Amino acid sequence: MSTRATLAKDFWDRPLRDLFQTLEATPSGLTSDEANRRLRLYGPNSFVQESRFAALFSFLRLVANPLIIILLIASSASLALGDRIGGLIIISIVLLSVLLNFFMEFQARHAVEKIQKQVATTAAVIRDGREQVGRDPCQSRPTDRSHHPRCKVRGTQA
Query: Could you tell me if residue 145 is inside a domain?
Result: yes
- pLDDT for 153 equals 40
- pLDDT for 71 equals 96
b/e per residue, 7-34, with b = 16+ CB within 10 A? Answer: beeeeeeeeeeeeeeebebeeebbeeeb
- Cα separation, 26 vs 2, in Å, equals 22
- Cα separation, 145 vs 12, in Å, equals 14
- pLDDT for 120 equals 67
On whether both 97 and 60 belong to a single domain, the answer is: yes
Q: Please name the residues in contact with 71: beta carbons below 8 A apart, sequence gap of 6 or more.
A: 90, 93, 94
- Name the domain count of the chain: 2
On whether both 58 and 97 belong to a single domain, the answer is: yes
On whether both 99 and 59 belong to a single domain, the answer is: yes
CATH number of the domain where residue 37 is located: 2.70.150.10
Query: Could you tell me if residue 17 is inside a domain?
Result: yes
Put simply, whether the predicted model's pTM sits higher than 0.85 gets the answer: no
- pLDDT for 7 equals 56
- pLDDT for 42 equals 83
User: What's the gap between Cα 58 and its chain centre?
Assistant: 14
User: Splitting the chain (158 residues) into consecutive groups of 10 residues, what average pLDDT does each group show?
Assistant: 59 83 84 86 74 87 94 96 95 96 92 83 77 59 47 39
Query: Could you tell me if residue 64 is inside a domain?
Result: yes
- pLDDT for 93 equals 96
On whether both 58 and 99 belong to a single domain, the answer is: yes
